[in-house]
Amino acid sequence: MAVLLTGATGFLGCRILRALLAAGSAGTVGSAGTVGTDEPDEPVHVLGRGTPQELHARVEAAMAWLENPPPGPEALRRVRCFSADLTRPGLGLEPGERAQITDRLTSVWHCGAFLGLQSDPVTLYRTNVLGTRGVLELAQEAPAAHVLHVSTAFVAGRRHGVHVTEDDLSDAEGFHVSYEETKHTAERLIHAWCRRTGRAATILRPSLLITDRRVPDGLPDQPLGVLARLVENMLRINGDGTGGARILRGEAHGTAMTVRIPGDPAGSLNLVQADYAVDAMMRVMAHRATAGTGPGVHTVHVTHPHNTPVALVKSAFEARYSGTAVEIMPVIPFPTPMEAGVIANTTHLSAYTAQRRTYDRTHLRHAVDGLPDPSPIDRAYLLRAL
Ligand SMILES: NC(=O)c1ccc[n+]([C@@H]2O[C@H](COP(=O)([O-])OP(=O)(O)OC[C@H]3O[C@@H](n4cnc5c(N)ncnc54)[C@H](OP(=O)(O)O)[C@@H]3O)[C@@H](O)[C@H]2O)c1
């Protein structure tokens, strides 16, 4: 038996790989409903860009950072890397490689995607929509494999102030960015594929993932970390004479610099701890296997039970960059060069903070029975994350 994983070099994918390797097998499900069997050498086929050697080195580096002590050579030997590109026909795989990958395949974890929220829509479409189609074509060559597709809670697009159910897949109000639209379309492809083939798939929809361990350079960062690096760069480049440098050195106090960020000051967003999300995903998969997977799609929100208020994120930013006063406002009049830089790189932030949306977790709770809810995301957690 074997498992396939795309996106293993990414922020979430490397954690899924860690969980698959930590299990007794490559993510198959034992009779007790636990992830794992007695076959410790089952391969995990990792599909990604670069040579197999480069891919292996990258996932190994991520594993070493995630796990202390890192997984031993035996676990890492189960990782078989294949050069593949989601944007290429047939994922760029040779027929011989496809046969090797699909042989005795039990699960297909499709986690790879392009997350460039403000990037070229064509690249987003090719990666997220055509890439998903390519993965489904490969899954079709492995009739016993269950497809687990990592989507996002943000497929709900522009719907504000609503409670979104897990069966909801509406595009009636459109999308903030092409990324959301491509992830929505990918979900539709999964539904169509299941209808056409009579196969089963699970769609996992995490909200914004977060960790309180700062990610070192060279490893895939979390969205909040990307925002923090952006602010740091702006402080370095445009930081109001020497003010920015003093803030970065931790020498400024009070309100040495005011930074206005577009957004809804009373808004909230759903953030969920990445480790909880992966644990939940593994349990969903185990539950799907033991409960029996009839044909069709089962969608699960992998979200936090409570949204994080924007005001809390603001307060954590102010504590992290002491001497900075952050003002969240819907529209910023006459932005400074630094503010203009932040605005240009985060045009979606304003709309996201105004979502005031909540996510139903009925399917999640049913599947992960016994898994405690994630701990609250408080100011201290956010501060560590930054
Ligand atoms: N991060 C979040 O907060 C979040 C929230 C909700 C849902 N999600 C979903 O979770 C999944 C993983 O996200 P992430 O945070 O791990 O993103 P990430 O860190 O940007 O990783 C993306 C992964 O996809 C791979 N990839 C991108 N383009 C590819 C291509 N053309 N061919 C092959 N592989 C390609 C990347 O490979 P390279 O290393 O070669 O670039 C990387 O392994 C995505 O499906 C995303 O939509 C993420």
pLDDT in tens, 189-234: 999 999 999 999 999 999 999 999 878 888 888 888 877 877 777 7
Atom of ligand 1 nearest to the CA of 209: 3
Q: Judging by beta carbons within 10 Å of its beta carbon (0-12, 13-18, 19+), is residue 120 exposed, middle or buried? A: exposed
Interval between CA 244 and ligand 1 midpoint (Å): 32
Interval between CA 127 and ligand 1 midpoint (Å): 10
Interval between CA 211 and ligand 1 midpoint (Å): 16
Q: Which of 4, 11, 15 for mutating ligand 1's site (highest number of atoms within 8 Å of CB)?
A: 11
Residues in the chain predicted with pLDDT less than 70, given as ranges, are 24-40, 68, 237-243, 252-256, 292-293
Confidence at residue 40, expressed as pLDDT on a 0 to 100 scale: 60
Q: Where are the domains of the chain?
A: 2-211+270-305+358-374, 223-268+307-353
Confidence at residue 50, expressed as pLDDT on a 0 to 100 scale: 96
Question: Which residues does 54 contact at the CB level (< 8 Å), separation at least 6?
Answer: none
Q: Which of 6, 46, 49 for mutating ligand 1's site (highest number of atoms within 8 Å of CB)?
A: 49
Confidence at residue 228, expressed as pLDDT on a 0 to 100 scale: 80
The CB density around residue 218, as the number of other CB atoms within 10 Å, is 10
Confidence at residue 340, expressed as pLDDT on a 0 to 100 scale: 81
Residue closest by Cα to atom 31 of ligand 1: 86
pLDDT in tens, 245-286: 777 777 766 666 787 888 899 999 999 999 999 999 999 999
> Peptide bond before 121: cis, by omega within 30 degrees of 0?
no
Which amino acid, 349? L
Q: What is the CA radius of gyration of the chain?
A: 21
Ligand 1, CB cutoff 6 Å, lining residues? 7, 9-13, 48-49, 85-87, 111-115, 127, 150, 152, 183, 206, 208-209, 220, 223
Residue closest by Cα to atom 7 of ligand 1: 152
Q: Which of 111, 302, 303 for mutating ligand 1's site (highest number of atoms within 8 Å of CB)?
A: 111
Atom of ligand 1 nearest to the CA of 86: 32
Confidence at residue 237, expressed as pLDDT on a 0 to 100 scale: 67
Query: Cα torsion at 46, 49, 51, 53 (round to 10°)?
Result: -50
Residue closest by Cα to atom 39 of ligand 1: 9
Confidence at residue 38, expressed as pLDDT on a 0 to 100 scale: 41
- In the chain, where does DSSP find H-type helix? 13-22, 52-66, 73-77, 95-102, 121-124, 131-140, 178-197, 223-238, 243-248, 274-291, 310-320, 337-345, 347-353, 362-367, 379-385
Confidence at residue 242, expressed as pLDDT on a 0 to 100 scale: 59
Q: Which of 4, 9, 180 for mutating ligand 1's site (highest number of atoms within 8 Å of CB)?
A: 9
Confidence at residue 241, expressed as pLDDT on a 0 to 100 scale: 56
Confidence at residue 139, expressed as pLDDT on a 0 to 100 scale: 98
Confidence at residue 79, expressed as pLDDT on a 0 to 100 scale: 95
308-309 and 268-269 as β-strands: parallel, antiparallel, unpaired?
antiparallel
- Superfamily of structural domain 2-211+270-305+358-374: NAD(P)-binding Rossmann-like Domain (3.40.50.720)
